[in-house]
Chains A and B, each alone.
Chain A
Amino acid sequence: AQSVTQLGSHVSVSEGALVLLRCNYSSSVPPYLFWYVQYPNQGLQLLLKYTTGATLVKGINGFEAEFKKSETSFHLTKPSAHMSDAAEYFCAPVVQGAQKLVFGQGTRLTINP
C-alpha cells in the first residue's frame, strides 16, 4: 500500500533562511509525487509535481524538490524563506496507474521575522 511520511509536523525558520520540508514515500514502484500548500481557510494549491524526466523539479514561489529514488524521498526546499510562505505543506504521492492522492500529515511552516 502506498504511504507517505512527512518528518516534522512543525518547522520554524527565520525570514531569509533555507526552508527544508522532508517527505519520504513507500512504494515498490516510483509514484508521481506532488507538493501542495494550504493557507488558512483555503483549499490546496499545487506547488510542484514530479511525474517523469528531470528529478529536480521547480515550482511556484521559488520552491523546488528533488526526487531521489534510492532514498524514496521528495524533499521540498526554498533557498530564502519569506513571511508569505507561512502555511501548511502536504506531500502526496499517486501510484502510477492509480488515481488518488495519498496525503501525509502535513508540515506547518512558521516564518520568524
Chain B
Amino acid sequence: GAGVSQSPRYKVAKRGQDVALRCDPISGHVSLFWYQQALGQGPEFLTYFQNEAQLDKSGLPSDRFFAERPEGSVSTLKIQRTQQEDSAVYLCASSLAEYGIYGYTFGSGTRLTVV
C-alpha cells in the first residue's frame, strides 16, 4: 500500500482483557518497528523486526507484551491482561532498508484506552 496502515484506529479494553493491534507496512519494507507513545510524551521503542526475525525486543515493558511478524509483512502487537498503564498510542513504522538511512514511515497509530 501507499502508507503504513494500522488497525483498529481506536480500542477500548476493560482491564484484564487481551488486545491485538495490527500493522500493515509498506510493501517491500524490510524493517518494522513498534513504538508506544504515552500522552504528552515522545514515542518509546518497543520492538524491531527485520523481515520475520524479531531482532530487538528490549523495549517491551513486560512479558504481557508480545509481537510477531510471521511472514515478514503484517505484524501484530498483542497485549495480554491489559492494565491501565498500557493506555497509550501504539505506533508502527516501516523502513525500506535494514538501517535507518532511508528514514521511517509511520502509521497513524492505535489509541488504546484501558478502563
Contacts and interface: CB of A to CB of B under 8 A. Distances in A.
Interface residues of A, number: 24
B91 to A, nearest CB: 6
Contacts of A105: 41-42
Contacts of B109: 42-43
A26 to B, nearest CB: 15
Interface residues on B, range: 20 to 34
Interface in B30-65: 31, 33, 35, 41-45, 48, 50, 55-56
23 contacts: A32-B100, A34-B103, A34-B104, A43-B4, A43-B108, A43-B109, A45-B106, A46-B103, A51-B101, A90-B42, A99-B31, A99-B48, A99-B50, A99-B56, A99-B95, A100-B33, A100-B56, A101-B45, A101-B104, A103-B43, A103-B44, A104-B42, A105-B41
Interface of B: 4, 31, 33, 35, 41-45, 48, 50, 55-56, 91, 93, 95, 98-101, 103-109, 111
